[in-house]
Amino acid sequence: MAKAAFYGRFSSNNQREESIDAQLRAAQEFANKNGYEIVVHYADKAKSGTNSSKRVEFLKMIKDAERGLFQVVIVHKLDRFSRDKYDSALYKRKLKQCGVKLISVTEQLDDSPESVILESVIEGMAEYYSKNLARETMKGLLENGYKCLHNGGKPPLGYDVNQEKKYIINEREAESVRLIFDMYNSGYTQSQMVNELNERGYKTKLGSSFRSNSIQSILSNEKYTGVYIYNRSAKRDAFGKRNSHASKDESEIVKIQGGMPQIISREVFEQAQAVMNSRRKSPGTNKAKENYLLSGLIKCGCCGRHYQGNRRRGKNKPMYVSYRCSYRRVTSSKICDNKEIRKEYIEEYVLSELERKIFNDDSIKYLVEGINKNLQKKNKVNDEKKEVIAKELKEIDIQIGNIVTAIASGFIQEEFKVKMDELKERKAELEFKQAQIKSSEIEQRITEEDVRKLLNNFSGYVITRNIPECKKFIQSFVKSVSIYPGHIEVVFNVSFSLLKTTGKIEVISKIKRYDLYERYSNSFHVRVG
């Protein structure tokens, strides 16, 4: 008796899984009548017959045929084998090379010329059905597109889909989208952006941490400006592969202004595209003509947007380098009329204030007091957490003891075992949390000597104006620089991370614009060139 394999498939969620059982039953009856023994079953559930590369069981069957596990493959109908003529011919040839024959229960064909013609007609009709179905499905999807409805898949970060298939804003995710555009337009590198997003606890749409490749697609997505876009991706090629970088002709794309809730303005999006294009023009370098120490930290006190580096020179005039409100720069309007500020003046002020307020002996006592107060607060919170965990652990031990007593008394039930496993698992989780809290605690007090050693490592860079080194640590020591119409406010954030504590204290410096210009106007020579 010849060994045979059964292959079945149902292609969509509209078909039930039982349809494969029906296919197998018909194949088994056929095998019994014709002297075949079905030794192995293969079934692809909810898989299209047009793309064999996605049919795991089908490919497994082809490999097993090469191993000689059977001599015949039985299908209920030929369209279960494949609906693509190219695929059908390719894999039939592979089976034939392995000495394996393909048999259809409902379309019993032989090796006669008439059967060859009939088989071609059957496969042609199957392919026609498949492509016609795809066309009709596309009509429905396009109609959804014209209504600005979600057409399947994961919505972009920042959006959810309601019961009517309409896009709605996910506020938490939208925050991260706005931050991404804001940071990018302010001169952040992608690695800096990734670090900032992950430190703030933001997640991708899949719930994972951000990576550089997650950033790029967001920055290029025009949907965030409120434009609904569908049918942009190019069609698959003859081998079923799609080029994600290729787009269809504009006439085929559904594009509707105002079709989605807006997360960012058109101006912000266009600015990001301009930054992206400028970086592409000088790949691998991304070098500015100026070294802006305060990039990402300096912001407008009026509108809250970041200030950006700006350099300009009129005809026969010296170069003027400054920080300028990004909103004013993009719109070229008076929506935000906060004035720019000379780069040299504000950077020198920040560095000098670092020396004066942070890197000096007089401030160390104050810093030590602030740090130890934060440590006390942190340890108090930890004590409260440990108390809650200890209480729950005690209750779990009591419950475990009760179950043990019940079992010892002869009350043996399956529910006891399930509950015992749950309690043990919870106990392990709590003990792990206990260990984490203990490892994060700092028991000793920080001394003045500890702080002095730490600050000495950085103060030399500030004093010597070592620009690359200043830029490295200024992100850690300066929390923000806010530019107001009448004054500047600098907030220093002193984080003693090297001492393995998250305790932070803030030191603030303020100066009037007029006083800033008075202080430094004679200290710098304006460059020409």
pLDDT tens digits, one per residue of 8-45? 887 654 444 447 888 888 889 999 988 999 999 998 87
Outline where 309-447 has alpha helix (H). Answer: 326-331, 343-353, 361-408, 414-440
Q: How far is CA 298 from the centre of its chain?
A: 27
Query: Residue 281: what residue type?
Result: K
pLDDT exceeds cutoff 50 at 60:
yes
Whether residue 484 lies inside any domain: the answer is: no
Please check whether residue 106 lies inside any domain of the structure: yes
pLDDT of residue 452: 72
Q: How many domains does the chain have?
A: 3
What number is the average pLDDT over the span 177-187?
Answer: 87
| Residue 82: pLDDT band with limits 50, 70, 90 | confident
Residue 459's Cα: distance from chain center in Å?
38
CB contact at 8 A, 294 and 235:
no
DSSP letter for 286, please: -
Which of 382, 416, 440 terminates a domain? The answer is: 440
Token representation of residue 414: 């399956």
379 token code pair = 């340890």
Spacing of C-alpha 423 from chain mean position: 35
Give per-residue burial for 154-191: e unless 16+ CB within 10 Å, then b: ebbbbbeeeeeebbeebeebbebbbbbbbbbbbbbebe
59 and 118: one domain? yes
Report if residue 251 sits inside a domain. Answer: yes
Q: For position 489, what pLDDT does the model report?
A: 94
Residue span of the structural domain in which 231 resides: 159-281
Average pLDDT, the chain: 76
**Amino acid 499: pLDDT:** 41
pLDDT for residue 362 is more than 90: no
Tokens of 367: 């810093």
Residue 147 lies in a domain: no
Q: What is the CA radius of gyration of the chain?
A: 34
CA–CA separation, 375 and 451 (whole Å) = 14
3 state DSSP class of 105:
coil
Residues 123 and 224 in one domain: no
Residues 170, 119 within the same domain = no
If asked whether residues 169 and 121 sit together in one domain, one would say no
Indicate whether 109 and 170 sit together in one domain.
Answer: no
Q: Would you state the pLDDT for residue 488? A: 94
| CATH number for 78 | 3.40.50.1390
In three-state secondary structure terms, 71 is: coil
Residues 167 and 134 in one domain: no
User: pLDDT tens digits for 409-445?
Assistant: 777 667 777 888 888 888 888 887 777 777 666 555 6
Q: Are 325 and 340 in contact, with CB atoms under 8 Å apart?
A: yes
Confidence band of 70 (pLDDT split at 50, 70, 90): very high
Q: Are residues 188 and 60 in the same domain?
A: no
pLDDT recorded at residue 16 = 45
Nearest to 263 by CA among 173, 154, 151, 166: 173
pLDDT of residue 440: 61
In sequence order, the β-bridge partners of residue 491 are 480, 508
Strand ranges for 27-178 from DSSP E? 36-45, 72-75, 101-104, 159-161, 167-169
Q: Which of 236, 253, 281 is the last residue of a domain?
A: 281
Q: Is residue 428 part of a domain?
A: yes
Reply yes or no on whether the pLDDT at 145 is more than 50: yes
Place of tokens 């059964």: 6
Residue 490: what pLDDT? 92
At which of 281, 311, 342 does a domain end?
A: 281
Do 426 and 396 form a contact (C-beta atoms < 8 A)?
A: yes
Q: Within 10 A of 28 (CB to CB), how many other CB atoms are there?
A: 17
d(C-alpha 66, C-alpha 64), whole Å? 5
99 shares its domain with 8: yes
Q: How far apart are CA 480 and CA 187, in angstroms?
A: 15
pTM listed for this prediction: 0.36
pLDDT at 120 over 70: no
